């Protein structure tokens, strides 16, 4: 997976296969949005931030992330952890899937954003 800035407030993730995503997922009576599950590292101290994604779009082997500001980040991770952020609830979705095989959890941790 490759991550790079494709615009002033846009990051593109490229995969080695076509992907699909769940835009949202309901678990334990709560709606979880895919756009809130991406985690970014802001600085060399490892400061984490999330909830900065305005919109997601899938195009073949790409996920295009529209950010809600033009702040630059060093690294990106998904899913955030084994648990939803700031909870003890085990992560259960939404997922990124390979289109051809429908296998989920195409995860990545601390990938550099070029």
The pLDDT tens digits for 47-69 are 888 889 999 999 999 999 999 99
The pLDDT tens digits for 74-98 are 999 998 778 888 888 898 888 898 8
60/26 Cα distance (integer angstroms): 25
Per-residue confidence (pLDDT) for residue 71, from 0 to 100: 94
Residue 46 has pLDDT above 90, yes or no: no
43/38 Cα distance (integer angstroms): 16
Cα angle value 101/93/73 (rounded, 5°): 95
pLDDT grade for 106, boundaries at 50, 70 and 90: low
Average the pLDDT over 32-50 and give the result: 90
């Amino acid at each position: 997976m490759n991550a790079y800035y494709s615009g002033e407030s846009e990051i593109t993730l490229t995969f080695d296969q076509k992907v699909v995503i769940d835009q949202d997922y309901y678990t334990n009576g709560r709606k979880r949005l895919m756009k809130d599950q991406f985690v970014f590292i802001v600085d060399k101290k490892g400061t984490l931030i999330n909830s900065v994604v305005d919109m997601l779009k899938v195009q073949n082997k790409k996920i295009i992330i529209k950010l809600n500001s033009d702040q630059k980040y060093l690294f990106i991770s998904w899913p955030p952890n084994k648990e939803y952020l700031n909870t003890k609830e085990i992560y259960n979705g939404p997922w990124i899937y390979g289109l051809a095989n429908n296998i989920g959890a195409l995860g990545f941790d601390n990938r550099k954003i070029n």
